[in-house]
Structure 1
Amino acid sequence: MEKFHLYAATAAGVEALAGRELREMGYQTQVENGRIRFDGTIEDILKTNLWLRTADRIRIIVAEFDARTFDELFNATQAVAWDQFLPMDAVFPVEGRSQKSQLHSVPDAQAIVKKAVATKLAAIYHRRTRLPETGATYPLEVIINKNHVLLTLDTTGPSLFKRGYRVGKGGAPIKENMAAALIALTSWHTDMPFVDPVCGSGTIPIEAAMIGRNLAPGYNRDFLCETWDWIPNELSRQVRAEADAQADYDTPLQIFGSDIDGHMIAIAKRNAEEAGLSQDITFKQLAVQDFTTELHHGVIVANPPYGERLSDQAGVRELYRQMGQVFKPLTDWSKYILTADLEFEHFYGQKATKKRKLYNGALRTDYFQFWAQRRPRTKAASQRD
């Protein structure tokens, strides 16, 4: 089966996580800013769209070359065998990006690529009139960086963070793939308790349950490439059936989400039900200051309000103080808290074990990590040594 040059697009700061996911799936990777390159077949395109938790989308690298003039861009684009990807009636919108390049006008670059592709397809399909563009959509992108051009074809459609279970949301919901990234950066395993004490619409606990159940995050949605005539429907059904067979519905999970807002808890419960995970997560209306637990060796992941507006800042920093006070006795729990407030540690009352810079959308944030005391080893583990 033919192999394609591919890349998984990611948010800044998440590249290493998506690269790890791909390597665990058996791919050789090359990690770059905002993307991870790998090679794969049509089946791999479907599998990576279905299984990647932290990526945004999967793109085919159609061509790659240097260009410093619009003539060079046109000629190199026209030279591509576009009929291998686009049928005669393809709808092919062209997006663009450019930085540190002589071809700095993105609209002009998009127009040149569009014209070059149309010219090549018209010649191949013997069209004397304009191409109809009435069929399936094949979104193209021209990316120019330091005069190096990537022409890519998006296979995903709506971003991979759109899992399909979110029927309700709050004011500033975290994206599903960012929630998965936050969990991937923790020490959590499925035999440990997991808590989100400011869960909002439930995204973080739902993503934890999906990981715990080994559910493919893209299972309940479609991908744009599944509408293309060269992606076999039977192969798509086969890949989805294989994913369904890998689900684990037997491992016991202890996943909890709480929030001070009862309306948000109701939304979280609906979202979990839509994801088929309502039996795996315990949601409860609860203020952070009232949180207690008798469980041990767990993980807390929180995405509290950031207090970006001055009018909100005092209340949010009081929440940080409450977190510090409530979590301090939980010495055998690890806590991971995402916020854009660089003074968080001061109000929380403890220096983080580690900080990691992440981007929540366009917003720079830090992931403050407070690691637990070392978990005691089991007798069986000691005997194995």
Structure 2
Amino acid sequence: MKLEIIATATFGLEAIVKREVETLGYKIIKSEDAKITFMGDERAIVKSNLWLRCADRVLLKMGEFNAFSFEELFQQTKALPWEQWIPEDGKFTVTGSSVKSKLHSVPDCQAIVKKAIVEKLKEVYHCDWFKETGSEYTVKITILKDRVTLTIDTSGAGLHKRGYRVEDVAAPIKETLASAMVQLSFWKEGRLLADPMCGSGTIAIEAAMIGRNIAPGLSRKFASEGWSAISEKLWKEERKKAYEAIKYDADIRIKASDINPAAVKAARKNAEEAGVDDCIEFSVVPFSKFKIEENYGIMICNPPYGERIGEKEDIHKIYRDLNLFFKKNPTWSLYLVTTDKEFERLTFNRPADRRRKLYNGRLEVCYYQYYGAKPVKA
């Protein structure tokens, strides 16, 4: 069955998600703010959920149309083939949003969509009441300038929830953003990567998973796994392929450290859960005493942002230590994300070689990239 599928993305990560979808072999129809639409089939739903590292969710697009009244919304929603996906015992809820549209009452829109789907299923299944004891289906109505898009969420919990985070620390970076930071860097297998402010280890773990080609969704479940419209065989086949694709012999060398022993303990446990603890060297050490013994490494980190009163001086000390480290190690490259708009001036007193606006949750951050000296050719 030919399907339109939407991979949603945090603002700034669309290009990476688009590249990931294309790598899976699917044709992009449209790339917009916060979403990539592509063509696929039932297998594409499975593969996208298992393999997309930087997307937030994978949505099945049911339909798109203009609606200027509740009656139009009801009739056009009812006309869609909901029975192809929602069985007689299916349990479904409706969520929604509306921006710059005549139909601005989201609760009313949700109620009308729910009623329209129920009426359609009544006609198909010839019954007046549904038990809703089966698999769950989350339908979403999105209205932008009177243009309605209806989708069903195939992921369930957001794709950033990989399943390996068994221990946490304050203000962790989202797994999807950590993966993007690694993919936007020049790090690759065989090159040393360091995160001297590792927190619960997310950047290091995501890098190790990329290096070993471990599918990010391999250790979790998805909402669409219980759907009768997607064969259980597809999930088994794609999971088997994902396990076979893991590169256990990849040359992955990662150093992850933090001043906080509890954070390093959490990072170790998370790495063990992700199956990559053997290629990450963890240590408890302040950044001022962080040392390396080789050139041309990559440092990727998410330092404290200093959002609370009294933390600014600690942050500025980190900046001074960064400056000193890169003076001593000019061949190293730095990739760092922060909310601090003064980072360039306070740390190196020069602009980054490249910068990119991203979001860590709801916080707007900037991804600063400083490129080290290139290896001298023999």
Q: Compared with structure 1, are the counterparts of its residues 376 and 3 closer, same or farther at alpha carbon in structure 2 (3 Å cutoff)? A: farther
AA matched with 2:208: A
1:1-385 to 2 correspondence within 5 Å? 2-29=1-28, 30-128=30-128, 130-351=129-350, 352-377=352-377
Equivalent position SS for 1:319: helix
> 1:327 Cα deviation (Å)?
2.4
What are the superposed Cα offsets for residues 207-258 of structure 1, whole Å, 9 maximum, x if unpaired?
A: 0000110111111111110111121111110111011111101122111101
> 1:291 Cα deviation (Å)?
1.3
AA matched with 1:360: N
AA matched with 1:209: A
Q: Compared with structure 1, are the counterparts of its residues 375 and 106 closer, same or farther at alpha carbon in structure 2 (3 Å cutoff)? A: farther
Further displaced range: 316-325 or 98-107: 316-325
Q: Does the 8 A contact of 1:288 with 1:326 survive in 2?
A: no
C-alpha distance in 2, partners of 1:330/1:206?
24
C-alpha distance in 2, partners of 1:295/1:254?
12
Equivalent position SS for 1:139: strand
C-alpha distance in 1, partners of 2:131/2:85?
16
AA matched with 2:86: L
Q: Does the 8 A contact of 1:317 with 1:344 survive in 2?
A: no
AA matched with 1:199: C
> 1:81 Cα deviation (Å)?
1.6
Q: Does the 8 A contact of 2:354 with 2:368 survive in 1?
A: yes
Equivalent position SS for 2:336: strand
C-alpha distance in 2, partners of 1:372/1:328?
10
AA matched with 2:59: R
Identity across the alignment (%):
43
Q: Does the 8 A contact of 2:139 with 2:151 survive in 1?
A: yes
Q: Does the 8 A contact of 1:259 with 1:287 survive in 2?
A: yes
Residue 382 of structure 1 corresponds to: none
C-alpha distance in 2, partners of 1:213/1:376?
28
> 1:319 Cα deviation (Å)?
1.5
Q: Does the 8 A contact of 1:257 with 1:282 survive in 2?
A: yes
Equivalent position SS for 1:103: coil
> 1:98 Cα deviation (Å)?
1.0
What are the superposed Cα offsets for residues 116-167 of structure 1, whole Å, 9 maximum, x if unpaired?
A: 1111111211112x32211110110000011111000010110111111110
Give unmatched runs, 5+ long, in structure 1: 380-385
- Where do 4+ consecutive residues of structure 1 move more than 2 Å? 374-377
Equivalent position SS for 1:92: strand
Equivalent position SS for 1:310: coil
C-alpha distance in 1, partners of 2:250/2:80?
50
AA matched with 2:116: A
AA matched with 2:290: F
Further displaced range: 309-318 or 193-202: 309-318
C-alpha distance in 1, partners of 2:35/2:328?
40
C-alpha distance in 1, partners of 2:36/2:376?
37
